[in-house]
Amino acid sequence: MEKEEKKQLLEEKNIHLWFAGSPVSLQSMKLELDMNVGAIFAYAKFMNVQPENIKSMVCDIICYDSLRTQIDILRDCVYDGFEIKRNEEFGTKVPFKIKNQQTRNIEFVIKSVTTVSGQTWVNREGKRFNMSLVQESIFNVQASLHEQFIRNCQKKDIDHTKLILQPKFDDDYWLCACGTLNWNDEHFCCSCGVSKEWLAENVDKQFLEIKNKERQDEVERYRAQAAEQERIDKERQKEEFKKRKEAYEQQLKKSSSKKRAGKIVPIILIAVLLAGGGTAGVIYGLPYYDYRTAMAEYEKGNYDAAKAKFEKITDYRDSSEMVYQCVYSKAESYSAAGSYQSAAEMFMSIDGFSDAAEKYVANMVLYADKLYQESKYIDSMKIFREIERTEEESYKNCQEKVYGQARRDLKKQIYKRAYEKYSFLGDYKDSAENANQCLYVLAKLDYEGLDYKSALEKYQSMKGYKDVDEKLKKYSLLEKLISAVGSDGSPSVWNVYDVDCPKCGRKAEYVLEFGDDGHYSFGVSCENDGKYAVKNGKFRIEDKVLYEDYYVEGQMKFKKMAEIKKVDENASDKEGKNISITMTDPINNKNESTIKIYGNIISDETVSLG
C-alpha cells in the first residue's frame, strides 16, 4: 500500500518579477513542508525571457524566518539539463532542501544563466528581482474605448483576443498586451508579433477617442443618408400609388362614358393629335404630360425623381436646364441640413450652372469648419488646401492644433505619428526640422531593429541631413548585399565556387543568403555530403566589416564575422551575376583565407539575373 503524502504549504507567491538585463523572470515560488521526510523544500517557477535557449542556471536561495529576518543562505542551487526556449517556464519540478527548519519565507537570487550556445550571463552586481511585470486588464484601463481598440485590431488583422493586458513601455523593456516581455530594441513582440509602435499608438486614449469619434460620425452620416433615402422611397411609393389610383378612377370614368355615349372620340382624338405631330400634340400630348409630372415632383422636393423625368424630355421647353436645377436644389437642401460634403459634391457635378462653383467653395468651407469642430484637424486642413483657402482662421487654428499634437507625440516617442503630422504641416514653424528629426530617429530604429530596407529608404530620402550622407556611405556595402532581395521578401543569394567542404574537404559551393530583415544563412552544397546548413542568425555590415549576432546579459550584440577586402562591380560569374565581394572566410573565420562571393546589384539600370 502506497504511503499517503502529507505536505504543508508554508508560503506560496504567484508573482511576475524581473530586473533589468536578467535573462529570466520569476513567475512564482513555494515553500513546502514534507511531513513524510520531515524536511522543508523550496520551489520556484522561472521563464526564459531572452532569445537564446537556456541550458542551465545557478541561483542562491535566501531564507527568512516568520519575522522576515535572514537566517540562512542556500548557495549554488543548480538547474541543469534543460533546453528552455524563449517564453517557456521551467523549475517547478526541481526541489531544493532547506536546512534551517525555522525558514518561513524565501527569496531566489540568480547568479548565472548559460545558454545552449555556451554563452554565460553572470549577475555580477547581485541584482534581485525587484520590478513587477504584472499588468492591468486592458479592458479595465480602456473601458468604453475598448471596442474601438478591437476595431483597430481587426483593421490590421491582429488577433485582439491575445491582447488582453495593458502594455508597458520602459527604457530597458516593453511588455506587450499579450503579456510577453520584449527587449527595448525589439520592434515586434516575439510572441504575438504585434508592432511595438502600433501598440503604443493604439493604446493611447486620445488616439482612441479620435478614432471612436470618427466612427460615430460615419455611422451618423450613413444613418442620415439611409433616412433620407427612405423618405424619398416612401414619397415615390405614395406618388406611384396616387398615379395608379388616378389612372384607375379615370379608366372607370371613361368606361362609364362609353356606356352612356357609345363613343370613344376623345381617345381617338388624342391619338390622332399625337400621331399628327401638330401644335396641339406638342402642347397637350405626352411631352407636356411628362413635363408637368416632372415639375410636380420637383415642387414636392423629390429632386431625383424629377431629374429622371426631365432627362427623358431634354428637348422639351427648359427640361435640360431643369436637370441641373434639380441637382442644384437637392444640393441646397443637403447644405441646409448640414451635409456640407454631399452638398459640395453635388454643386461640383454641375460646375458652370448658375453659381454652383461658388456654392461648392462655400460648402467646402463649411465642411472644413465642421471637421475642425469635430477635432479632425488634418482632414479640415486638407479641405482648406484643396479649395486654396488657407487664409481662413479655422485653417490657422488647425495648424496650431496639429502642431501641438505632433509635439505631444514626439514627447511620448511615438515618432511615426509625430513625423506624419510634422510632414503634413510643412514649413509651419519648425515642423520641417522636427519632421527630419523624427524620420532620422525612425531610420535609426529601423536599422537597429534590422529592418534594413526601410532604414535605407528613409536615409536615402534625407540626404544632406546631419550625418546621413556618412551613414549611407557606411552602409553602401549593406545596400549592395541586400539589393537583390525579392519583392516577396526572398533573400539576396550569393555564391562561392570551388571551396573546400568543411565536412569532407572535397570541392563544394557555398550559398550565402542575406535578407533585408537582417537575417542571414550560410550553407554548403557538396556532391559527397549534399546540401546542409553551416550557420545562420542576424547580421550587420558597416564600412568593410560583416558582423554576426550573439547575446550578453540577454541583449543582442554583434561581433566581427568577416572583413571585406575588395568589391568588384564589373565581375561576372558563370551565372552572369554582376558583382563580386572578396572577404575573409565567414564560415571558417579563424584563419586568414579569403573567399569571393558573387551576387547582383539591382538598380534602375540593372536587371535581376536570379
Cα 454 from Cα 460, distance rounded (Å): 10
- The whole-number average pLDDT for the span 330-349 is 92
What number is the average pLDDT over the span 173-199?
Answer: 90
> How many angstroms separate the CA atoms of 129 and 154, rounded?
37
Give pLDDT, residue 554.
58
Report the alpha-carbon distance of residue 299 to residue 431 in Å, rounded: 53
Grid cell listed for 231: 423618405
Can you give the pLDDT at residue 573? 62
Given a cut of 70, whether residue 1 has pLDDT beyond it is no
Q: Which residue has the cell 378612377?
A: 249
pLDDT of residue 211: 86
How many angstroms separate the Cα of 157 from the Cα of each of 151, 153, 202? 10, 6, 14
Q: Which residues of 302-312 are buried (b: 16+ CB within 10 A; e: fewer)?
A: bbebbbebbee
Decide: 520 and 512 in contact? Cβ < 8 Å.
yes
Average the pLDDT over 71-76 and give the result.
94
- DSSP structure string for 121-154: EE-TT-----EE----BHHHHHGGGHHHHHHHHH
CB neighbour list of residue 110: distance below 8 Å, 6 or more residues apart = 22, 24, 57, 58, 59, 123, 129
584 DSSP β-pair partners: 594
User: What does 145-174 look like in DSSP terms, one character per residue?
Assistant: GHHHHHHHHHHTT--GGG--B--EE-SSEE
**Cell numbers linked to 510:** 557555398
**Percentage helix, strand, coil, to 5, in the chain?**
40, 25, 30
User: At 574, is the pLDDT very low, low, confident or very high (cuts 50, 70, 90)?
Assistant: low
Distance between CA atoms of 539 and 550, rounded to whole angstroms?
10
- Specify which residues 428 forms β-bridges with: none
- Asked if residue 16 has pLDDT above 50, the reply is yes
CA-based nearest residue to 25, from 175, 165, 246: 175
Q: Which domains does the chain have, with CATH numbers?
A: 7-132 (2.60.40.3230), 138-203 (no CATH), 393-472 (1.25.40), 476-599 (2.40.128)
Q: What is the pLDDT of residue 294?
A: 92
563 class by beta-carbon count within 10 Å (0-12 exposed, 13-18 middle, 19+ buried): middle
* pTM given for the model: 0.58
CA gap 402, 381 in Å, rounded: 10
Provide the grid cell at 551: 547575446
pLDDT tens-digit profile of 280-321? 444 445 788 889 999 999 999 999 999 999 999 988 889 999
Q: Is 126 left (phi over 0), alpha (psi -120 to 50) or beta?
A: left
Q: Assess contact for 117 and 537: CB atoms under 8 A.
A: no
pLDDT the model gives residue 533: 82
- Distance, in Å, from the CA atom of 183 to the CA atom of 274, rounded to the nearest integer, reads 87
Better pLDDT: 270 or 196: 196
In this prediction, residue 276 carries a pLDDT of 42
What value, to the nearest 5°, has the Cα angle with vertex 257 and ends 252 and 262? 130
What is residue 267's predicted lDDT score, i.e. its pLDDT?
Answer: 46
pLDDT at 259: 53
Q: How far apart are CA 419 and CA 413, in angstroms?
A: 11
Each residue's pLDDT tens digit, 486-510: 888 888 888 888 887 877 878 888 8
Q: Is the pLDDT of residue 258 over 70?
A: no
Contacts of 220 (CB under 8 A, 6+ apart): none
Give me the mean pLDDT over the 392-418 stretch: 92
* Average pLDDT of span 150-175: 90
* pLDDT tens digit sequence for 353-368: 989 999 999 999 999 9
Antiparallel, parallel or unpaired: β 168-169 and 131-132: unpaired
Which of 203-207, 380-384, 507-511, 568-572 is predicted with the least confidence, judged by mean pLDDT? Answer: 568-572
| HSE toward the beta carbon, residue 379, CA cutoff 13 A | 16
Question: What value does the mean pLDDT take over residues 80-99?
Answer: 92
CB 54 within 8 A of CB 554: no
Segment 248-254 shows an average pLDDT of 73
Q: What are phi and psi of 324, to 5 degrees?
A: -70, -35
Closest CA to 170 of 321, 387, 58, 19: 19
pLDDT tens, 457-479?
Answer: 999 999 999 999 999 999 988 98
Q: In the structure grid, which three cell numbers stand for residue 525, read together?
A: 552544397
- Residue the block writes with cell 482648406: 384
- Residue 465 phi/psi, 5-degree rounding, is -95, 130
In the predicted model, what is the mean pLDDT of residues 535-541?
A: 88
Report the pLDDT averaged over residues 240-258.
71
Kindly state the average pLDDT of the residues 549-564: 80
**What integer best gives the mean pLDDT of the chain?**
86
| Of residues 244 and 221, more confidently modeled | 221
Angle made by CA atoms 185, 188, 189, in degrees to the nearest 5: 105
Q: What pLDDT, on a 0 to 100 scale, did the predictor assign at position 277?
A: 44
State residue 252's pLDDT score.
72
pLDDT band (50, 70, 90) for residue 255: low
Query: How many CB atoms are located within 10 Å of the residue 208 CB?
Result: 21
Q: If residue 511 lies in a helix (H) or strand (E), which one and from where to where? A: strand 507-514
